[in-house]
Amino acid sequence: MRYDEAKKAFIKDLESFAYKHRGYDVFGDFVEMAAISLYQPFRQSEKLEKRYLDIVGKYTKEESKIFGKLLRYVVEGLTDKFGDFLGECYMDKEFGNKHQGQFFTPYTISKFMAALSVGSIDTMENKRISEPAAGSGGMIIAIADHLQENGINYQKMMDVQAIDVSPLSFYMCYIQLSLLHIPAECIWGNTLKMDIFDTWYTPAYLLKKYDLETLKTTKVEELGKAS
């Protein structure tokens, strides 16, 4: 499925719940459960497992099928091309204006800013990127997009720290950076106050830091203490 088709399908299925559940709530539940499902194999957390079951328990068995479909649309969209898929869906539904006064930069602008911020491609070495207000990860994705367009393997080149105070943005960012295999340390925290509430690592980050056998046998909390 092409990127734009996947976005339309995502929004259509989300709207199909409007008769019973608020779209904003379904979106929030989806991103949290999707993020948990991507991180739980590494985290192996009983707390996260319980949280997942508590969320899905709000829906009937038939209703809960939508969450697998929504994740499939995200995967198919980001497989087709780079983009801030979840951020764009969020803005298309005007959730930011209605609920939090939160807005995500249009991806075309992020791409333009990425080209300016990356600097000289010819002299580039491993790029450490710190994003103190990461949102859904659009700017980080745009940098990866720019690098790939210039023949650079962003999966090896990038080393990202993405911070956001909004848990919704934190989950959105984690999903997208994980699916695009961007090595990233995603932090739910307040950059200005230097408060950190939780830190999750994308699969690409863990694979870059540790060998596969270590990941099979060690919880991510233990890996974090050892690093």
Class of domain 107-226: alpha beta
> How many C-beta neighbours within 10 Å does residue 183 have?
22
* Pairing of the two strands 184-190 and 158-164: parallel
Sign of CA dihedral 50, 41, 219, 180: negative
Tens-digit pLDDT profile for residues 84-143: 999 999 998 877 655 455 678 889 899 998 888 776 555 556 678 899 999 999 999 999
Helix/strand/coil percentages in the chain, nearest 5:
60, 10, 30
Q: Is 186:22 a contact under the CB 8 Å cutoff?
A: no
Longest dimension (CA), the chain: 55
pTM check: above 0.95: no
All CATH 3.40.50.150 domain ranges in the chain, comma separated: 107-226
DSSP 79: H
pLDDT at 69: 96
Q: Is 37:52 a contact under the CB 8 Å cutoff?
A: yes
pLDDT at 84: 97
Residue 225: pLDDT band (50, 70, 90) is low
> How many C-beta neighbours within 10 Å does residue 123 have?
6
Tens-digit pLDDT profile for residues 22-47: 888 999 999 999 999 999 999 999 99
Closest to 95 in 3D by CA, of 195, 163, 10:
10
pLDDT at 21: 86
Tens-digit pLDDT profile for residues 193-209: 889 999 999 999 999 88
pLDDT at 118: 76
Non-local CB neighbours of 54 within 8 Å, separated by 6+ positions: none
* Pairing of the two strands 195-201 and 184-190: antiparallel
CA dist., res. 73 & res. 3, Å (int): 9
Render the burial of 77-93: b for 16+ CB within 10 Å, e for the rest. Answer: bbeeebbbbbbbbbbeb
